[in-house]
Amino acid sequence: MTVRLRTLLSVPLISLLAACANAPSNTLGELPRTPQASIQQLLEKAGNSTSEEANMLRLSAADLAYKQHNLTQAKQILASLQLQQLKPVPQVYAGTLSAEIALTENQPKQALQALQQPGFERIAELPVEQQIRTSLVKARALEADQQQLPAAKERIYIAPMLKDPQQIADNHEAIWGLVAALPAEQLQAIPGNTELNGWLALVSLTRTNASLDQQIAAIDAWRAQNPNHPAALQLPKALAALRTTEQQPLNRIALLLPQQGQLANVSKALQDGFMASLYESQQEGTSPPAVIFYDSTQMRSLDDFYQRAKSDGIQLVIGPLEKSLVKQLNDREQLPITTLALNYSDTQDEGPAQLYQFGLAAEDEAREAALRAKKDGKHTAVALVPRGDWGDRVLAAFSREWQAQGGALLGAERIDQPVEIARQISRLLQNRQNGQSIDLIFLAATPQQARQINPTLAYQYAGNIPVYATSHLYTGTSNPAQDQDLNGIQFCETPWLLEPNNPIRRKVVAQWPQAASSFGRLYAMGADAYMLSSRLPQLKALPNTELEGLSGELSLSSTQRVTRKLPWAQFINGQVQPLTQPTPL
């Protein structure tokens, strides 16, 4: 049976409902059969003939070679065919097979190119099984080529044709995965595409700071408004999982922090920010969980702590802060209680399913600098970072993201002694003398170092090169007299320090004035830790969700690390001025 659905590129959705047509005519050709023969027997029977029957035998042989994972032989057989001389049906078959092979070899652009033969213009007239096979490989190729929206459209178009229950379910989940990964600017409704718009609206419901019960209520309202939409008839698994989470309210939290030693002041700021956010939530009418405090410096072992926490009825652990303890947790296969560590392990390896990690990672800021510079149209960069392990990690994060965005890193210097900075900058700028232009300087430095670096750049006639920096050059307090030497530098910073009118921030600063300085970043992290305590199931079920926190825009990576996107600011006349987001190129 042949279904006249659409051209491969696009047709109105109503054409998906077209009636069945007759079997392919002789002008279209036929699909290769699946004879009970070996590849060698098929090729021997085809011989040197160029007849249509011989070509069909070769196509059968190529498909058999592909299914046996003999890609080299499959490609050799396809290369022997004159595709332009084939009728539309075998031509589409050959192009689809070539695309499948290219995808197996991780060549999505080559796969998409293989789907451009003239015969694809008549795909709507082809047998339904071939339309499904072709459209599914095209959807996979588009997704592999980072074209999520076209891939989602392709899967939505093919959905009414599917009959196999497992294939239907897999396609349904794939559509959700594609639309859920779309950036915010691609979630706008598309005129005339009702079904796709329903998917986009559903995704938008998950991109808010709404609480779990609010989010579930919004999803239920969407289903009531769109009763016949595929996602209303069968919620994606990730959304269905939210109901299970709703039925398990969070009542008791452990705050595991060092109350003595070198980290005591840090943990005090985190704790105060956490409790301030809890009290603010309570004033808004919610019933916050009970919080029990544990001193990580006094516990004998993590096993003893978890045993005690379980006996205390703890459902979630916030902490520890010590990096060595986080590493121990990350090395375990599983944890007895879900845990949000307030630091990151050094390894990028995936930890136990019950472990989440959250901190003020400088690597997040380095990646943000690379993304910002790319959106600003920059192409070549040099870097100045502190000498030591911290600087190496920041530089590595910037370099990886910058090169992933297509940028070139021309050189880097590790700054250490103040007397050496001028010489190091001079050496870094030699790239210009060698004929290589420098579009930007990436800077990770203390306020004292940055105040020396910027005037040195001007002295060496490089003051016109934009500087993109991490937050570490900002003291957190306004000091125009000293910060004149930072003029022009762009840097990313927490919303806590850029938005002084935030209600929680105002209350915290009124009680603890040090929260208005760079120390405020820790209060912001503590406040966000409380917000995350009730949102971890949502972030896990909906990994593309972004929460507007006080330490940044928060999301969850595939390794369950909370990552931050930060707003940007610039020093102008010694004062910090927020910057708007650049327009994507």
pLDDT tens by residue, 424-454: 888 888 877 677 889 999 999 999 999 998 8
- The verdict on 383 and 483 lying in the same domain is yes
Confidence bin at 3 (pLDDT 50/70/90): very low
Could you give the CA distance from residue 462 to residue 565 in angstroms, rounded to a whole number?
A: 29
What CATH number has the domain bearing residue 60?
1.25.40
- The verdict on 347 and 376 lying in the same domain is no
Instruction: With a cut of 90, say whether residue 311 has pLDDT above it.
Output: yes
Instruction: With a cut of 90, say whether residue 107 has pLDDT above it.
Output: yes
Task: Kindly report the number of other CB atoms within 10 A of residue 453's CB atom.
Answer: 24
pLDDT of residue 24: 43
Of the two residues 97 and 26, the one the predictor is more confident about is 97
pLDDT of residue 83: 76
Of the two residues 286 and 222, the one the predictor is more confident about is 222
Confidence bin at 582 (pLDDT 50/70/90): low
Residue 179 lies in a domain: no
Residue 502 lies in a domain: no
Residue 500 lies in a domain: no
Residue 432 lies in a domain: yes
Of 18, 8, 20, 53, nearest in space to 127 by CA: 20
Range of the structural domain that residue 521 is part of: 252-357+507-549
Instruction: With a cut of 50, say whether residue 4 has pLDDT above it.
Output: no
Instruction: With a cut of 60, say whether residue 25 has pLDDT above it.
Output: no
Instruction: With a cut of 90, say whether residue 348 has pLDDT above it.
Output: no
Residue 196 lies in a domain: yes
- The verdict on 270 and 382 lying in the same domain is no
Which residue pairs from 59-66 have beta carbons closer than 8 angstroms and sit at least 24 positions apart in sequence?
59/32, 59/90, 59/93, 59/94, 59/97, 60/32, 60/33, 60/34, 60/35, 62/94, 62/97, 63/32, 63/34, 63/93, 63/97, 64/38, 64/39, 65/39, 66/97, 66/100, 66/101
pLDDT of residue 421: 83
DSSP for residue 566: -
Cβ atoms of 111 and 154 closer than 8 Å: no
Confidence bin at 11 (pLDDT 50/70/90): very low
Structure tokens at 300: 């004998």
Average pLDDT, the chain: 88
pLDDT of residue 140: 96
Tell me the mean pLDDT in the region 98-119. 93
Q: How many domains is the chain built from?
A: 4
- The verdict on 307 and 227 lying in the same domain is no
* pLDDT tens digits, one per residue of 258-302: 999 999 999 999 999 999 999 998 888 888 999 999 999 999 999
Residue 519 lies in a domain: yes
Query: Which of 222, 245, 268 is at the close of a domain?
Result: 245
- The verdict on 202 and 96 lying in the same domain is no
pLDDT of residue 166: 95
Could you give the CA distance from residue 525 to residue 508 in angstroms, rounded to a whole number?
A: 13
* pLDDT tens digits, one per residue of 403-422: 999 999 999 999 887 778 88
Residue 467 lies in a domain: yes
Query: Which of 245, 266, 290 is at the close of a domain?
Result: 245
* pLDDT tens digits, one per residue of 533-561: 988 988 888 777 888 999 999 999 989 99
- 9 phi and psi angles, rounded to 5 deg: -80, -55
Query: Which of 210, 245, 280 is at the close of a domain?
Result: 245
DSSP for residue 185: G
- The verdict on 225 and 333 lying in the same domain is no
Confidence bin at 584 (pLDDT 50/70/90): very low
- The verdict on 462 and 320 lying in the same domain is no
What CATH number has the domain bearing residue 439?
3.40.50.2300
* pLDDT tens digits, one per residue of 41-77: 999 998 988 888 898 899 999 999 999 999 999 999 9
- The verdict on 149 and 22 lying in the same domain is yes
DSSP for residue 106: T
Lowest-confidence pick of 26-35, 280-289, 342-351: 26-35
Provide the pairing of β-strand 408-415 with 440-443: unpaired
pLDDT of residue 23: 40
- The verdict on 198 and 140 lying in the same domain is no
Structure tokens at 28: 């279209």
pLDDT of residue 247: 60
Could you give the CA distance from residue 96 to residue 157 in angstroms, rounded to a whole number?
A: 17
Could you give the CA distance from residue 512 to residue 523 in angstroms, rounded to a whole number?
A: 10
SS3 content of the chain, % helix, strand, coil (to 5): 50, 10, 35
- The verdict on 24 and 146 lying in the same domain is yes
Structure tokens at 505: 């921030």
Cβ atoms of 388 and 353 closer than 8 Å: no
Residue 324 lies in a domain: yes
Give the percent of the chain with pLDDT over 90.
66
Cβ atoms of 427 and 366 closer than 8 Å: no
- The verdict on 413 and 445 lying in the same domain is yes
pLDDT of residue 21: 33
pLDDT of residue 66: 94
Instruction: With a cut of 60, say whether residue 17 has pLDDT above it.
Output: no
- The verdict on 444 and 525 lying in the same domain is no
